[in-house]
Structure 1
Amino acid sequence: MEHITSVSTLLVGHGSRRAEAIAQFNRFVSEFATLTGQPAHSCFLELAEPDMASGLERAARETGDGGTVVVLPIFLGAANHEKNDVATAIQWARYHFPKVTFRYATPLGPHAKLIALLDLRIREAHQQALDASPLEESSVLVVGRGSSDPDSNSELARTAHLLFEKRPYRLVTYAFQAVARPTIEEALHYCAATGAHQILVSSYILFTGRVYEDIQTVSSQVAARLGLRVIHAMYLAPHPWLLEVAHQRWREAMDGTTAMSCDICKYRFPMAGYEDQVGEPQHTHHLHGGHGSHEHTRSPEHLEHAYREASSEV
């Protein structure tokens, strides 16, 4: 890692109206600062303060001219928020603070430790349940938030399959809480059609909040109609493995080894149903300090996407 005179890290969360969700995120930020030995601050895309503009400004002023701000998105995958909202906010910050270097880290997932943590949460819930059928007779439903980005959605399917590999579950499938399909109801109907009787519902969610609550509510209601037993696993945080993954992403950004695959990005290649978004400018509605846009390069020689660009020095 090259020598940096002053470093500050800005951890970006989605935001929530649930006070406990914000408290959990802020505890994570505090633990991350202790782990790295560097100042770390929080900001949110929406629903909570400080917003991205305020967070970026604070981090930039703290580190000063010639310093570095690492922007670390605490998200499980790279969807529209990462490719548009955060990337555009960084371009805004670079314009307003040209003497500060902004490095953009990749989201936490996909990562083997996250899959291991999913498995851990499922087994914890199974052990605590009364009269639960054995794992070998249990089906697992991994539920993610869902987005309009097909690349991001595909990561949940891959995560579900990797969870299934070499583990005892009779079946592992996946669903989305919103936006994408299969829905929770569709996935539970599929589980029932395979002969499942007990479903371990695994929320691929970092913290508590409305999404987690909705996954529990909907899965319980649908399962009751289908005559299925459901056991709910807890969301992922807190756990040291999450901090380790975040620290790895931070080191990658500091070392200049941040990597992001653009081979199946809807902004680079025509994907079914998203053909009109190829080359679409990056934009955000979450930057309260000022709106901006940044072109998704259309030419094939620039396939590194915003992550490679945003990870480089100014």
Structure 2
Amino acid sequence: MNTPDESTSVTTAAFDDEAVLLVGHGSRREKSNEQVRELAAGLESRLEIPVDAAFLELAEPAIDEAFATFESVVSRVTVVHCSLFAASHVKNDVPLAIEQARAAYDLEIENGAHLGIHPAIIDLLDDRAAEVEAELGVDREDDGVAVVLCGRGSSDPDANGDVQKLARLLYEGRDFNRVEATFIGVTEPTLEDTLHGLSKHRPDAVVVLPYMLGDGVLTQRVRDWTADFDDDYPYVSALAGDPLGTDSRLLDVFADRWQEARSGSVEMSCDTCKYKVDLEGYEEDVGGARAMLRALAHQEAHAAREDIDDEPHSHDAPQKHVTVCTNRTCADAGSTAVLERIRQEARNSERCDVRITRSSCLGRCGDGPMVAVYPDGIWYGDVAAENADRIVTDHLESDRIVSNLVEQIL
């Protein structure tokens, strides 16, 4: 881990033409967005190079707008993630935005890793627990103190597994009675169930740590559920602590992730990534969103080479890429049949230059089956198998949008 002095001595010597883009999710609560901007300002002071904040959604600037601003200032940008764990935003959304920016701007862009498991974060969580213990008037060495580490919850098992690992590391070497991992939603166990289960062990105190960056809606939900538990079980004192916030130790983690990206040593947990390996219950996610990214990147790379030297390529990317969501909600609505029907219609066509793949969740659950056509950016919703011939003959062959099926245009 770099100290402030070490980071300063490195950056001022060699990286005047470099900037950092700190990417947060974005929130409807401006306070959470301001925390990301405050972290960006702190990282700029630490590294002594320009650092801007950008957001995936719900806040400005968007990632593309931030890259556009950087193009006239520097030649190299390193993306550092505010995401705590590697789920779909880290694995799909930000890499796709980076690929599009590489094609659009004259910038060298490096993609860093998420915050993840880091000694500085474990120390920070330990201090957050100590703050709650002091407020409750208990001592972990003398009293039975249980800690609940509460994450947001994800549809990515790899991310949920990291919450469990972090909880175990927080337990090791400390005098807590126990440390449990739990979640607000999406997956199990939920915070409510975990708290009620802990009551059977009759600890003296329960410390709930919201494992979140900003002080937003979910953090307040953690506080509310903890307060309800405290009221329901008078023999246990329970209190929720603060999220990670803008603690300076996060700058240590960001600085390390920046150095890793610059040196090409970013590591992802690919052995347990649902997009790369068959995991029980997630088989349909393999290759989905990653396939769409590969196709777009491949197509853009070829287009760029055509512009430069007009050389033909023996393996040109297809004109279009169709991806069909086969995540559980869409699959239950018949998306697998839609996928196979589109493939059959495309095989029968003599004018259809297309690649057709499965996709993981497109974020439009309830509007499916969803079918996305790229590079046109057309998303069709509520698609039935009998609509496949129109998608192929009208859109893929003749570039005519099937207007009554359009759900969204990107």
So what's the TM-score if we normalise by structure 1?
0.85
Identity %: 31
Distance in structure 2 (CA, Å) of the matches to 1:3 and 1:39: 14
In structure 2, the partner of 1:120 is 127
In structure 1, the partner of 2:250 is 242
Is 1:230–2:241 an aligned residue pair?
no
Is 1:41–2:47 an aligned residue pair?
no
Distance in structure 2 (CA, Å) of the matches to 1:59 and 1:294: 25
So what's the TM-score if we normalise by structure 2?
0.65
* 1:3 CA drift (Å): 5.4
Residue in structure 2 matching 1:177, options 169, 184, 187: 184
Is 1:281–2:289 an aligned residue pair?
yes
* 1:62 CA drift (Å): 2.7
In structure 2, the partner of 1:77 is 85
Secondary structure at the aligned position of 1:69 is classed as: strand
In structure 2, the partner of 1:32 is 43
Q: Which has the larger radius of gyration?
A: 2
Contact 2:140 2:175 in 1 (8 A): no
In structure 2, the partner of 1:254 is 262
More relative contact order, 1 or 2 (CA 8 Å, 6+ apart): 1
Change beyond 3 A, Cα 1:94–1:162: same
Residues 60-105 of structure 1 show CA distances to partners (whole Å, capped at 9, x for unaligned) of 3432xxx1110111121111110011111111111112x3111000
* 1:263 CA drift (Å): 0.6
1:148-227 alignment runs, 5 A limit: 148-227=155-234
Secondary structure at the aligned position of 2:174 is classed as: coil
Secondary structure at the aligned position of 2:54 is classed as: strand
In structure 1, the partner of 2:117 is 110
Secondary structure at the aligned position of 2:109 is classed as: strand
Distance in structure 2 (CA, Å) of the matches to 1:295 and 1:232: 45
Q: Which one-letter code corresponds to 2:138 in the other structure?
A: A
Secondary structure at the aligned position of 2:149 is classed as: strand
Any unmatched runs of 5+ in structure 1? 284-291, 298-314
Contact 2:55 2:63 in 1 (8 A): yes
Residue in structure 2 matching 1:132, options 138, 141, 149: 138
Contact 2:222 2:240 in 1 (8 A): no
Contact 1:53 1:89 in 2 (8 A): yes
Change beyond 3 A, Cα 1:92–1:138: same
Contact 1:138 1:198 in 2 (8 A): yes
Contact 1:9 1:59 in 2 (8 A): no
Distance in structure 2 (CA, Å) of the matches to 1:94 and 1:253: 16
Contact 1:73 1:105 in 2 (8 A): yes
Distance in structure 2 (CA, Å) of the matches to 1:263 and 1:172: 26
Q: Which one-letter code corresponds to 1:262 in the other structure?
A: C
Residue in structure 2 matching 1:11, options 4, 7, 22: 22
Distance in structure 1 (CA, Å) of the matches to 2:15 and 2:204: 56
* 1:226 CA drift (Å): 3.9
* 1:177 CA drift (Å): 1.1
RMSD, aligned CA: 2.2
Distance in structure 2 (CA, Å) of the matches to 1:231 and 1:148: 28
In structure 2, the partner of 1:306 is none
Q: Which one-letter code corresponds to 1:92 in the other structure?
A: Q
Is 1:52–2:59 an aligned residue pair?
no
Contact 2:146 2:205 in 1 (8 A): yes
Secondary structure at the aligned position of 1:230 is classed as: strand
1:301-312 alignment runs, 5 A limit: none
Secondary structure at the aligned position of 2:21 is classed as: strand
Residues 238-258 of structure 1 show CA distances to partners (whole Å, capped at 9, x for unaligned) of 222110110011111112222
Contact 1:139 1:199 in 2 (8 A): yes
Residues 218-246 of structure 1 show CA distances to partners (whole Å, capped at 9, x for unaligned) of 22223433444212211112222110110
Distance in structure 2 (CA, Å) of the matches to 1:73 and 1:214: 24
In structure 2, the partner of 1:22 is 33
Contact 2:147 2:178 in 1 (8 A): yes
Contact 1:268 1:296 in 2 (8 A): no
Change beyond 3 A, Cα 1:269–1:221: same
Contact 1:203 1:215 in 2 (8 A): yes
Any unmatched runs of 5+ in structure 2? 1-9, 298-410
